[in-house]
Chain A
Amino acid sequence: MWRAVFLWVMAWLLATGTAWAETTSGEKASGAQVPKLAFGQSVDNLTDDDLPYVYTEWENFTEEDGLPNDHIFAVRCAGEKVWVGTENGLACYDKKTRKFTVWREKDGLPWRAVTGIDVDPQTGDVWLALFGGGVARLSGGRFDHFHQLNSGLVNNVVYAIAVEHDNVWCATTAGASRYNTTTKEWTIFTEKNAPMEEIWNYNVFYSPEVNKVFLAVWGSGCLEFDVPTEKWKVYLDPDREMEIDLFRDDGIIHVITTAANYVGGALWVSTYFGQCRYDGRYWRGFYAHETGLPSDFTNALRARSGQECWMCTDKGLGVVADYATDTYVSYYRNGDDSSGRAEVFRQGRKIKEVPLETSIAHNFIIAMDFDGDDVWVGTAKGLSHGIGRGYYPGVRRQPEWLNKLNSTSEK
């Protein structure tokens, strides 16, 4: 009994007792207490002039520019093309011609709402998750349609799709399906053969780095599938309670997960309650009130490395810009005109606000993808393209983008 109490107290002290420090100047994130750095993080010798890269050049696209619909559900970059899934059609942006090609139902698209896209690097086939319409493959200008009645797809409400070698993984509202494009074999994963406490799959991501598939499952945390061994590993919220996060940094923030990416040795997981990162030994949670990220309600995320991850929230576009130095950037649109701002935070303190003549298309962010140094962002009211001229990872003192911004404003 006493041993259990002792262990509990020690766990509590480890989890919370050393977690807070105060800063004395600068603007804090709303209501923030400032967390001490997590393992592997350091702000030694940094000043407020040490800044992450901030995207200051944005261009936006809407129906007026040729998109089939402004409500963007999915974005996927592949070479010279940017594929865009919307609430009413599929679009492909050609970066050379700067023109959109559009497919609606009348053009053969099997269903109007496209919620996920992946491109097979071996064949160039484009795989589409259709929201209530199953799955489609766009190959050689033709759509092939897979649904509950003609294939092994477990459910027609498909939220996301990912290509893994010859396999296509589909995250559906009633389990995950895997389609082998060579053998034509379908495999269904539900609570019967996978550690899914619930079967409501929400997102899927394949990491070639570790040859694993990661599923974000609504109500069942994050599931990791090792491709060679076909073994599952599950990450759940350790406190097992819906209404609280008992200890910070003890695991996944909440079981209602929305996306999971594994890049650069780190697993990043988003939820509607905050975001988190796991490096194989330590978890770190990110809450808006202590980081400066726009919101805890996160529709999806995309990791660029083990240090940088972009969060699609309902109140702006948030970036863990440099995990090592606890540095964040949040992008906002101001209102009816296209201007906005980027806010740079470190340890919960705002260290820089950057005015943007043109910012993201809307603050309700649903999807994003990387395109080399550029980023493409799907919002509820248009598509945004952040131009990463001179992009660098981490932080730099007096970076070029800032000098350029200052010289522009002086003129």
Chain B
Amino acid sequence: MAAASDSAPTVGADNRALPNQEDLPFPVDDYTLSILERINRAGAYQVPQLPLRVDPVYADTPKELDPFGRLTQPFKRYFLVQMEYTGPGRGIPEPEHVDTVKIGFLGPIEPTVSVATGGKSHEENLGQMMLRGCQLAIEEANAAGGYWRRKIPFELVVRNDNGLWGSSGDEIIRLAYIENVWAIIGTIDGANSHIAIRVALKAEVPVVNTGDTDPTFIETNIPWVLRVIADDRRQCYILADYIYKKLGLSRVGIIRASNRYGRFGVREFRDASRRLERPVPIEMAYFVGQQDFSMELQRLADAQVEAVVHWGDAEDGARILNQMREMGMKQPFFACDRCLLDDFVKIAGKNAEGVVCASPWNPARDDSRLEEFRQKFKARFGCEPETYAAHAYDGTQMLIWAIQLAGLNRAKIRDVLATRRDPWHGVTGEIMLTAVLDRASDAYLAIRENNQWKFYSREDLGLPKEVPARPVQVSQN
């Protein structure tokens, strides 16, 4: 395959001079500018020589949780070397006339009956917060001058992914081909996210995911997709370590939503339990919005579980917890990050005390950026930001940074995001990407203590992982 050399620009290459650092309305280092130079030199028939991330281990998986790790080494391991984009997209010139720089938003924002999510929609509260995080980032960018090359504003083109008959695919097609957005932020539901990234691959448009924690979302080898939120795999790893190593429990039952979020969310916990020689004795699924869980809970009680892990929405989780306690089940209750939402505590009341949830970030840390974001968010929307708003804010800011640098070319926007070497200093913490462009950071545990969530890192809990340390290697293609 032809790689772009240091010789003259190729067919379709961008001949514009690189921006001077002082002209830019944001900081950029020499390394990033050198990457941009290589990207701009490549045209339709050349692939720029960009550094490719190489990870020693996929998703920081500890050796003891390696699939089949006790039996053999696999013939091949995927996701360790970064995917390249080798198509001709870098040779597409910027359009001559644009009034705004459009960024697509795809998320669950309107209540509907959704085929993709298995019935009545239930993620609008998350989608609305995600939308607000994006809006705030766009508004700030526009207040700072908008798209610096043309002095035009950024525009968020908002679409609902909850529509009838799996219409999320239609929505993303329209974002890509009719609205001509430069990139898309979305979505939360795992099924809709998968539909979106398959469209993104063919239509060649970058997708920044800020709210889907389905591990398989990123395990598709698509070079157009990145994610800035720690996924359920990482949440399951820390939960398993805490439950089995710290607390010494051995019989843990699962109760989960009967949808893709529940099914894929607990998979890594179930696998981890088996690999740690404490297989899950029982896993019960329930319908989203179910009111009576007595049958599922009785089965868990009959299986004599020492603890219960829940994967599903906050309201369902709280009702399950309350019914457990009403039935006299005193087992510790563990849950996914969605149970950190206010609705959980509101419904669970005093039963919430002692509950342990996984969390993709630490919102309680002392960080001036985070505090500033909180204040701005509250002033703009009149409510506190949570996980989905904060990650959407970070993802949108990263995307705007990439557009400012790369210009109006989808392939180059992808390249700038994919080759970022240094961590992004976000309100959710330092964002480093793995070789598969997933967020590299570890998950946290939140424990409800004295009517408050207290957040703990692995270090706080004394649960170090035996995985090779970062930073990642990079190799030339």
B is a partner of A: yes
- Name A's B-contacting residues (CB within 8 A): 8, 12, 15-16, 70, 73, 87, 112-113, 115, 131-133, 148, 154-157, 173-174, 198, 200, 202, 218-219, 239, 241-248, 254, 256, 272-274, 287, 294, 297, 314-316, 332-336, 362-364, 380-381
Which of A156, A244, A381 is B67 in contact with, Cβ under 8 Å?
A: A244
Identify 27 residue pairs between A and B in the complex whose beta-carbon atoms are under 8 Å apart, listed by A's number. A12-B71, A15-B75, A112-B177, A132-B170, A155-B165, A155-B166, A156-B169, A156-B173, A173-B198, A219-B194, A242-B78, A242-B219, A243-B79, A244-B68, A244-B77, A245-B78, A246-B67, A246-B75, A248-B75, A272-B221, A273-B221, A314-B87, A335-B10, A380-B87, A381-B44, A381-B88, A381-B91
B170 cross-chain contacts in A, Cβ below 8 A: 132, 156-157
Contact (Cβ within 8 A) A239 B67? yes
Q: How far is the CA of A242 from the CA of B216 in the complex (A)?
A: 7
Q: Which of A154, A244, A274 has the most CB of B within 10 A?
A: A244
A219 cross-chain contacts in B, Cβ below 8 A: 194, 216
Residue of A nearest to B171 (CB): A132
Interface residue count for B (Cβ, 8 Å)?
50
A256 cross-chain contacts in B, Cβ below 8 A: 220-221
- Interface residues as binary, B32-44 with A (CB distance below 8 Å gives 1, 0 otherwise): 0000000000011
B293 lies within 8 A of chain A by Cβ: no
Q: How far is the CA of A118 from the CA of B2 in the complex (A)?
A: 33
Q: How far is the CA of A335 from the CA of B91 in the complex (A)?
A: 13
- Interface residues as binary, B185-196 with A (CB distance below 8 Å gives 1, 0 otherwise): 000000000110
Which of B75, B169, B202 is A73 in contact with, Cβ under 8 Å?
A: B202
B233 to chain A, nearest CB (A): 10
Q: How far is the CA of A315 from the CA of B477 in the complex (A)?
A: 12
Q: Which of B61, B75, B84, B170 has the most CB of A within 10 A?
A: B75
Residue of A nearest to B174 (CB): A132
A248 cross-chain contacts in B, Cβ below 8 A: 75-76
Contact (Cβ within 8 A) A335 B169? no
Contact (Cβ within 8 A) A218 B198? yes
- Interface residues as binary, B203-231 with A (CB distance below 8 Å gives 1, 0 otherwise): 10000000000011001111000000000
B44 cross-chain contacts in A, Cβ below 8 A: 362, 381
In addition to A12-B72, A239-B67, A272-B221, 17 A-B residue pairs with Cβ atoms within 8 Å of each other are A15-B75, A70-B88, A132-B174, A148-B165, A155-B166, A156-B170, A157-B195, A173-B195, A202-B198, A241-B67, A243-B78, A245-B76, A294-B1, A297-B83, A333-B2, A336-B11, A381-B88
Q: How far is the CA of A333 from the CA of B166 in the complex (A)?
A: 39
Contact (Cβ within 8 A) B177 A113? yes
A244 cross-chain contacts in B, Cβ below 8 A: 67-68, 74-78
Contact (Cβ within 8 A) A314 B58? no
Which of B1, B74, B87, B195 is A200 in contact with, Cβ under 8 Å?
A: B195
B428 cross-chain contacts in A, Cβ below 8 A: none
B71 cross-chain contacts in A, Cβ below 8 A: 8, 12
Which of A12, A131, A247, A314 is B173 in contact with, Cβ under 8 Å?
A: A131
A239 cross-chain contacts in B, Cβ below 8 A: 67-68, 74
B432 lies within 8 A of chain A by Cβ: no
Q: How far is the CA of A244 from the CA of B58 in the complex (A)?
A: 10
Residue of B nearest to A242 (CB): B219
Q: How far is the CA of A70 from the CA of B92 in the complex (A)?
A: 12
Contact (Cβ within 8 A) B86 A363? yes
Contact (Cβ within 8 A) A362 B88? yes
B10 cross-chain contacts in A, Cβ below 8 A: 335-336
Residue of B nearest to A115 (CB): B202
Q: How far is the CA of A294 from the CA of B119 in the complex (A)?
A: 43
Contact (Cβ within 8 A) A246 B77? no
A241 cross-chain contacts in B, Cβ below 8 A: 67-68
B115 lies within 8 A of chain A by Cβ: yes
A273 cross-chain contacts in B, Cβ below 8 A: 78, 221
B46 lies within 8 A of chain A by Cβ: yes
Q: How far is the CA of A112 from the CA of B58 in the complex (A)?
A: 39
B45 lies within 8 A of chain A by Cβ: yes
Q: How far is the CA of A219 from the CA of B463 in the complex (A)?
A: 34
B400 cross-chain contacts in A, Cβ below 8 A: none
Q: Which of B88, B89, B91, B115 has the most CB of A within 10 A?
A: B88
Q: How far is the CA of A248 from the CA of B87 in the complex (A)?
A: 29
B199 lies within 8 A of chain A by Cβ: yes
- Interface residues as binary, B356-390 with A (CB distance below 8 Å gives 1, 0 otherwise): 00000000000000000000000000000000000
Contact (Cβ within 8 A) A381 B194? no
Residue of A nearest to B85 (CB): A314
B116 lies within 8 A of chain A by Cβ: yes
Q: Which residues of B301-353 are within 8 A (CB) of A?
A: none
B83 cross-chain contacts in A, Cβ below 8 A: 297
B285 to chain A, nearest CB (A): 15
Q: Which residues of B142-198 are within 8 A (CB) of A?
A: 165-167, 169-170, 173-174, 177, 194-195, 198
Given A242-B219, A243-B78: A364 and B43 within 8 A (CB)? Answer: no
B173 cross-chain contacts in A, Cβ below 8 A: 113, 131-133, 156-157
B86 cross-chain contacts in A, Cβ below 8 A: 314-315, 363-364
Contact (Cβ within 8 A) A333 B77? no
Which of B1, B198, B219 is A316 in contact with, Cβ under 8 Å?
A: B1
Q: A-B pairs with the 5 shortest C-beta distances?
A: A132-B173, A157-B169, A244-B74, A174-B166, A335-B2
Residue of A nearest to B271 (CB): A241
Q: How far is the CA of A49 from the CA of B222 in the complex (A)?
A: 39
Contact (Cβ within 8 A) B45 A245? no
A334 cross-chain contacts in B, Cβ below 8 A: 2
A200 cross-chain contacts in B, Cβ below 8 A: 194-195, 198
A245 cross-chain contacts in B, Cβ below 8 A: 74-76, 78
Q: How far is the CA of A287 from the CA of B77 in the complex (A)?
A: 12
A336 cross-chain contacts in B, Cβ below 8 A: 10-11, 43, 45-46
Q: How far is the CA of A316 from the CA of B84 in the complex (A)?
A: 13
Given A336-B11, A381-B44: A243 and B1 within 8 A (CB)? Answer: no
- Interface residues as binary, B56-69 with A (CB distance below 8 Å gives 1, 0 otherwise): 00110100000110
Residue of A nearest to B195 (CB): A173
A379 to chain B, nearest CB (A): 8
Q: Which residues of B10-59 are within 8 A (CB) of A?
A: 10-11, 43-46, 58-59
A16 cross-chain contacts in B, Cβ below 8 A: 72, 75
B273 to chain A, nearest CB (A): 16
Q: How far is the CA of A321 from the CA of B61 in the complex (A)?
A: 39
Q: How far is the CA of A156 from the CA of B168 in the complex (A)?
A: 10
Q: How far is the CA of A133 from the CA of B203 in the complex (A)?
A: 14
Which of A157, A246, A315, A332 is B74 in contact with, Cβ under 8 Å?
A: A246
B202 cross-chain contacts in A, Cβ below 8 A: 73, 115, 131
Which of A112, A174, A198, A315 is B1 in contact with, Cβ under 8 Å?
A: A315
Q: How far is the CA of A364 from the CA of B76 in the complex (A)?
A: 24
A282 to chain B, nearest CB (A): 16
A80 to chain B, nearest CB (A): 29
Contact (Cβ within 8 A) A243 B77? yes
Q: How far is the CA of A254 from the CA of B75 in the complex (A)?
A: 13
B340 to chain A, nearest CB (A): 27
B167 cross-chain contacts in A, Cβ below 8 A: 148
Q: How far is the CA of A362 from the CA of B12 in the complex (A)?
A: 14
Q: Which of A113, A333, A364 has the most CB of B within 10 A?
A: A364
Residue of B nearest to A246 (CB): B74
B328 to chain A, nearest CB (A): 38
B194 cross-chain contacts in A, Cβ below 8 A: 198, 200, 218-219
B222 cross-chain contacts in A, Cβ below 8 A: 272
B364 to chain A, nearest CB (A): 32
Residue of A nearest to B77 (CB): A244
Q: How far is the CA of A219 from the CA of B195 in the complex (A)?
A: 11
Given A218-B194, A335-B2, A336-B10: A132 and B45 within 8 A (CB)? Answer: no
Residue of B nearest to A240 (CB): B67
A73 cross-chain contacts in B, Cβ below 8 A: 202
Residue of A nearest to B46 (CB): A335
Residue of B nearest to A130 (CB): B173
